Structure 1
Amino acid sequence: MKSYFANQKGSPDASKILIVEDEAIVAESLNDQLIHLGYQVCGTAANGEDALRIMENSNPDLVMMDIMLEGSMDGVEVASRIHEKKGIPVIFLSAYSDNETLQRAKVTEPFGYLIKPYKERELHTNIEVSLYRHRMEQRVKEHERWLDLLLKSISEGVITVGLDGSVTSMSPAAEEMMGWSENTALGHELQEIMQLEEASKYPVVPDLIDQALDGENVECLTDEDPVLISRDGHRIMIDAAAAPILNEQEEITGAVLTIRNVSSRKKAEMELAEARNLLTNLLTPREKEILSMIVNGLTTKEIAYDLEISPRTVEAHRQNMMNKLQVVDMPMLVRCAVTHRLVPIE
């Protein structure tokens, strides 16, 4: 590794820049310019191998890269490796501006391209723009990673569509529910991949999407939850909601649909309803009548008077109900009746 100058210091808080230049005079001049502009030069290299080695140890914020380098790798190849391994922004320095060189350089997605000789103001502007752009891109990537993690962690399926109703993204939960991978579903109409049983005379999905694209936040309001038929024929009960997607100008650019698997909840509700029916059927009409009066706060004497029966008969019915419902006292009897809706409450 060749070092052309000793003064590589700048402000400790300044952005660190690695210089890759095989001409010593040019490298020293660039070093002086960078320090004058307030940057910290963390190293210099005359060839690609040294550049990659220095980069691993110094972790620069930006690389100034000459395209024509001594050694087995030119600047384009070195920049490509930096881009793949580190994602550090690179500004190319070159005395060449021919189309072939530019095309090769473009493949590495450089943040800037300066033609030698360049003015200090051009150098400063390119560096500041590149550093700012890199910070913004990192924020966007971090936000995208956060959103991706969020979508993977929630149980609801999330699907986005464009203004034309075609799918633009799907969460892992949505992929699992519908049996479609995101890559396969992209570009398809939502109705093509989201097949529902005709439980309602109204088209659930088109209505939700149309209303969302009109700017409304809507939920699926049908008498029965729709049944989704996945690509492999599996059926699940779902509920759904949709909302518009807005850009920074508050313009609608698409819609997002969320779907939730409610099969387990519906199964539990049906089992509970069956249990309630079973408990209700255990009681005779007279017992239900007396139980309703107990729940509504009447005493034994009041019930006996209203039904024109003896208090002992009321107590006998009450004991029979407690035995049938497997409760041991009056508070438990009332709680059971209320919880399972065995009688109407006034």
Structure 2
Amino acid sequence: MSLLENKRVLIVEDTTIAATYLARELSALNAQVVGLARSKEQALDMAEKTNPELILMDIHLADGSNGIEAARSITQNRAVPVVFTTSYSDDNTLQDALSVSPYGYVVKPFDVKTIKVTCETALKRFALEEQARNSEKRFKVAAEAAKMGVMELDGSGRSFTFTGAKSLQHQFGASTSIDLDTFLALFDDNDKQDVIDSIAQGKSLHKTLCIDPDDDTWLDIVFSEIDVDNEQVNIGAVIDVTERQRQSKKLRLSSIIFDQLAEGVAVLAEDFTVLDCNRALADLIGVSSDSLVGKSLFDFGIDPLSIARNRGKKKMLRDKIHLHDARGDEFPALLTVTELTQNTESEKFVATISDITELTRAEKQLESLAFTDSLTGAGNRNYLKLALNDSIFSDNIQALIFIDLDGFKAINDTHGHDVGDEVLCECAMRLKHSIRENDTLIRHGGDEFVVLVQQSDDLNKLSQRLLNAFDEAIIVSDLTLTVGASIGVAEGIDGKDADELLKHADIAMYEAKRKGKGQVVFYTAEQSESIEYRLYVEQGLLDAIINHELYAAYQPIVDSYGNIVALEALCRWKSQEIGDIHPDSFIPIAEETGLINELGLKMLREVCIASSLLKEEGLSHVKVHVNVSILQLNSTELVKQFMSFLDEFSISADDIVLEVTESAMHDIGTRRILRELAAAGFTIAIDDFGSGYASVSELTEPYTHIVKMDKSLLPAENSGETKRVIIDTLIQMCSRLGKSVLLEGIETEAHANFARQAGCDLMQGFLFSRPKTINELLPEIREQSQITA
């Protein structure tokens, strides 16, 4: 079994090809690739979040950051083996890399065998070093716990080497090497000669000495000559006995301390009668010390049953009690009873009694503060947790309303926290005035509030009243500010978990925001399914890219005779867990999360592979279309990577058609990049033309070659002539401007006949073929090519 199996590996590589290659090969070796980072900042963040067991680190990273510095920062905070991967092998680079003690060094280009051997060697070495470190740690912990150290006299007889507890090492000047004179200076004149003689003659030595009278620090020094592997070694132990000496001293002071303690203390017989007590206990009860002797604690309000229940179970009893003084007045006290003697016929106990009247009063005040938001006066999260988990509260909750303030963050960011706090207070006051007396307002945190509703006849009316509370502008600090609210409502159902009720209200609030804010939405089960599905897609997308669950399907594009002249690459996701996931579900998420570049890069590489296969089959006349987004076009690194793919697979730019949506072409930066790509030889197609705001001026741009008409322009059966006139006019216009026209969405023969009659150059749709893999399409294209040859 490979040492890499199930190991978490973080890849830090600024070149996406190399990163993808490493991820694929390591995954094939059953390693878990937990992240792909391109810069030092990303590397530090991913190392913190993913806790890798091995890091492959490129020395030169994106944004000019340095992999060596990234490695140094990571290894300062965690023990993890780092293997450097780089194209550079000069002495200076190697020397700099060695400064962070790497576990391997691989020079590009590397192969699978080199990667496997280097990574396994690094993991094995790290495991061995970790064992050694753990052994050393255990010794240090044991020595530290025992406050013990070991001293060995070297061969010269003039210097000691010290290992062991740091607290002892400090006594010798925080050094691991102590010269003989320094060691002898610890002893007084009477003992010094004994030490010299013992060392010289190899005799055993045992001395107890105070090395720091100011700090009252005491050491036991034990020294002797022993045989180690047939060699006589002078070795000794140093033991901190300060505590033992101090305990002895404390015993002499105990009688004074006993009488001066502020807490009441009593020594009790087996039947809990007082044998002795201090002055504080007598003052607490309001009698003399002598009068307490012989009395039972039970005479002062202590419950005998409480003592009996705990006796024999614990060495110590600790309980809050109510004690009666000599006048009969009751006050709260803390009682601690500890067994004083063991294994004797007569047991004795020590009881400590403290007056906690003021503490009890303060606890009640703190309890009130613990459940109240200090800013708004509403309940806080502690109160919400209590209400949801205590059946006394939760059984009476009919519904839970979740309120999120719309526009508050902008106010806080623009005008500062002081203004933000005033706004929150005003919002809380309006919400309090909008609910009933038996309902509860809670500040959930930040700009979120929760209302616990008890027995409301009309939740709609209550929710709307809460929403209307923000109709009027808020005036604070001479500022007129507008705040809204998105409200989610979850109704209580018998048997429903209270935490689940909060979760459902939160989901409904999220749905209210999604619908445009300023709304009230009641929870439904479908909302949970929608959000859980989105979370699955969002969290699984990167893994899907790494695990090759994403692939390219190709839909043929035909000429007016039905011959396949091009293929459009379409991204598909086949999840191992839930099956096919529609592109409309994951493409927008890829754009939101920044994964669109990784996704796009995979598709561009797939397109180059498909074009290469077509060329090998002698089908180079078949072009390959691929969709590119504005986010991809604005990534200069991605464009460069695409160009490198062309070189890798010996593909010409004119073999590829880049489809760009009409809306994306409104961006000035995108138009500039498209001109550059067209100049490099790519064919540019305007995708979905006519689906939204159509700008005829885009048709005049010289860098566009194909206009792909949206399927919404296709006339329906028995429809009027309006759409026919529109599309006829557009096709004629494109033809006169030298643009080819592609009509998509052709699903019936009627659609195809219309397209031919209108003068369309190209057609695409299910009538001709559904999307298939390139391997499925190659035989069809090959057969058609032979027929038309």
Describe how 1:177-326 pairs up with structure 2 within 5 A: 179-183=171-175, 186-195=176-185, 196-199=187-190, 203-204=194-195, 207-208=198-199, 211=202, 219-220=204-205, 226=207, 228=209, 230=211, 238=220, 240-242=222-224, 255-259=235-239, 261=241, 264=245
Q: What secondary structure sits across from 1:92 in the alignment?
A: strand
Alpha-carbon distance in structure 1 between the residues aligned to 2:231 and 2:33: 45
Alpha-carbon distance in structure 1 between the residues aligned to 2:75 and 2:227: 33
| Distance change >3 Å, CA 112–CA 156, structure 1 → 2 | closer
| Runs of 5+ consecutive residues of structure 1 not aligned to the other structure | 1-9, 212-217, 272-346
| Farther off after superposition, 228-237 or 24-33 | 228-237
Alpha-carbon distance in structure 1 between the residues aligned to 2:108 and 2:227: 46
Q: Does 1:81 align with 2:73?
A: yes
Q: Does 1:50 align with 2:42?
A: yes
Deviations 1:131-158 (A, max 9, x none): 1222222233333333222222224554
Cα distance, 1:63 vs. partner? 0.5
The one-letter amino acid of 2:71's match is A
Contact 2:40 2:66 in 1 (8 A): yes
Contact 2:225 2:232 in 1 (8 A): no
Alpha-carbon distance in structure 2 between the residues aligned to 1:252 and 1:27: 59
Specify which of 13, 26, 31 is matched with residue 21 of structure 1: 13
Number of aligned positions between the proteins:
243
Q: CA RMSD in A?
A: 3.9
Q: What secondary structure sits across from 2:23 in the alignment?
A: helix
Cα distance, 1:66 vs. partner? 0.9
2:92 is matched with 100
Q: What secondary structure sits across from 2:72 in the alignment?
A: helix
| Runs of 5+ consecutive residues of structure 2 not aligned to the other structure | 253-789
Cα distance, 1:82 vs. partner? 1.0
The one-letter amino acid of 2:104's match is G
Contact 1:16 1:61 in 2 (8 A): yes
| Distance change >3 Å, CA 181–CA 150, structure 1 → 2 | farther
1:167 is matched with 160
Q: What secondary structure sits across from 2:177 in the alignment?
A: coil
Deviations 1:114-169 (A, max 9, x none): 11123433222221121122222223333333322222222455434444442322
Q: What secondary structure sits across from 1:22 in the alignment?
A: coil
Query: Comparing both structures, which one devotes a greater share of its residues to strand?
Result: 2
- Which structure has the larger Rg over C-alpha atoms? 2
Deviations 1:214-255 (A, max 9, x none): xxxx742xxxx6464737798968451346596xx8978873
Q: For CA contacts below 8 A with separation 6 or more, give which structure has more relative contact order.
A: 1
Alpha-carbon distance in structure 2 between the residues aligned to 1:163 and 1:22: 55
Taking only the aligned residue pairs, the percentage that are identical comes to 25
2:28 is matched with 36
Q: What secondary structure sits across from 1:230 in the alignment?
A: strand
Deviations 1:163-214 (A, max 9, x none): 44423225345457xx42232xx43323432333454796435635874xxx
| Distance change >3 Å, CA 206–CA 24, structure 1 → 2 | farther
Alpha-carbon distance in structure 2 between the residues aligned to 1:89 and 1:250: 40
The one-letter amino acid of 1:167's match is F
The one-letter amino acid of 1:89's match is P
Specify which of 57, 62, 73 is matched with residue 70 of structure 1: 62
Contact 1:239 1:261 in 2 (8 A): no
Alpha-carbon distance in structure 2 between the residues aligned to 1:187 and 1:35: 50
Contact 2:57 2:67 in 1 (8 A): yes
1:316 is matched with none
Q: What secondary structure sits across from 1:71 in the alignment?
A: helix
Specify which of 116, 130, 144 is matched with residue 138 of structure 1: 130
Normalised TM-score (structure 1): 0.57
| Distance change >3 Å, CA 116–CA 252, structure 1 → 2 | farther
Contact 1:162 1:255 in 2 (8 A): no
Alpha-carbon distance in structure 2 between the residues aligned to 1:11 and 1:173: 40
Specify which of 121, 143, 146 is matched with residue 129 of structure 1: 121
2:539 is matched with none
The one-letter amino acid of 1:189's match is D
1:334 is matched with none
Alpha-carbon distance in structure 1 between the residues aligned to 2:17 and 2:231: 54
Alpha-carbon distance in structure 1 between the residues aligned to 2:146 and 2:17: 58
Normalised TM-score (structure 2): 0.27
| Distance change >3 Å, CA 162–CA 232, structure 1 → 2 | farther
The one-letter amino acid of 1:145's match is K
Specify which of 109, 121, 129 is matched with residue 117 of structure 1: 109
Q: What secondary structure sits across from 2:135 in the alignment?
A: helix
Contact 1:79 1:90 in 2 (8 A): yes
Contact 1:159 1:256 in 2 (8 A): yes
The one-letter amino acid of 1:240's match is V
Cα distance, 1:61 vs. partner? 0.4
Alpha-carbon distance in structure 2 between the residues aligned to 1:160 and 1:210: 16
